[in-house]
Amino acid sequence: MEVNLPVVSEKKITRKSIDVVPFGFKMADYIRWGFLVADETAEVKKDDLFLIKIKPLKLPENTMISSLGVAKHPIVTVLDVIGKETSFQGEKLIDSVLVISSKNGVVEKGDLIGAVKILFIGAGIITRLRSVEIPKVEYGDEKVEFTIKYMEKDKIKSFKAVKSTHGYIRSNLGYTEYFISNENTEVKAGKIAEIKIKPVDLPASTVTVNCGVMENYNGCVIDFSANIRLIEERRVIDRVLFLPAEDGKITKGELLGVAYIYYIATKPPEIDFIEKRITKAAIKYIEDGIREKRMKYIHPKYYRRKETGRWDIIVSDENKEVVKGIPSLIKIRELVLPENSIVTPLYIMRNPMGTLLKVHQPGIYDLRGEKFITHALFLPAVSGEVKKGDLIGVINVYNVEIMTMEKMLSELEYWRERTNFRFKKI
Q: List Cα–Cα distances, 406 to 171, 194, 285, 311, 413, in angstroms.
A: 16, 36, 32, 32, 11
Looking at residue 130, its pLDDT comes to: 67
Looking at residue 229, its pLDDT comes to: 67
Q: What is the pTM of this model?
A: 0.94
Report, as ranges of residue numbers, the positions in the chain whose pLDDT lies below 50.
none
Q: Which residues of 24-58 are buried (b: 16+ CB within 10 A; e: fewer)?
A: bbbbbbbbbbbbbbbeeebebeebbbbebebbebe
Q: Taking the CA of residue 5 as centre, how many other CA atoms within 13 Å lie in the half-sphere pointing to its CB?
A: 14
Check if the beta carbon of residue 345 is closer than 8 Å to that of residue 372.
no
Check if the beta carbon of residue 325 is closer than 8 Å to that of residue 379.
yes
Q: Reduce the DSSP state of residue 407 to 3 states and report it.
A: helix
d(CA 314, CA 320): 15
Looking at residue 131, its pLDDT comes to: 66
Domain that holds residue 407: 2-425
Q: For residue 314, count CB atoms less than 10 angstroms from its CB and return exposed for 0-12, middle for 13-18, buried for 19 or more.
A: buried
Amino acid type, 41: T
Q: Taking the CA of residue 321 as centre, how many other CA atoms within 13 Å lie in the half-sphere pointing to its CB?
A: 0
Q: List Cα–Cα distances, 315 to 5, 318, 350, 393, 426, in angstroms.
A: 10, 9, 11, 7, 44
Looking at residue 87, its pLDDT comes to: 64
Looking at residue 48, its pLDDT comes to: 96
Q: Reduce the DSSP state of residue 131 to 3 states and report it.
A: helix
378 beta partners: 328, 356
Total count of residues recorded for the chain: 426
Check if the beta carbon of residue 314 is closer than 8 Å to that of residue 361.
no
Q: Name the residue among 2, 4, 9, 1 with its Cα closest to residue 386.
A: 4
- Count: domains in the chain: 1
Q: Reduce the DSSP state of residue 76 to 3 states and report it.
A: strand
d(CA 27, CA 122): 7
What are the residues whose beta carbons fall under 8 Å from the beta carbon of 185, sequence distance 6 or more? 193, 195, 249, 250
Looking at residue 17, its pLDDT comes to: 87
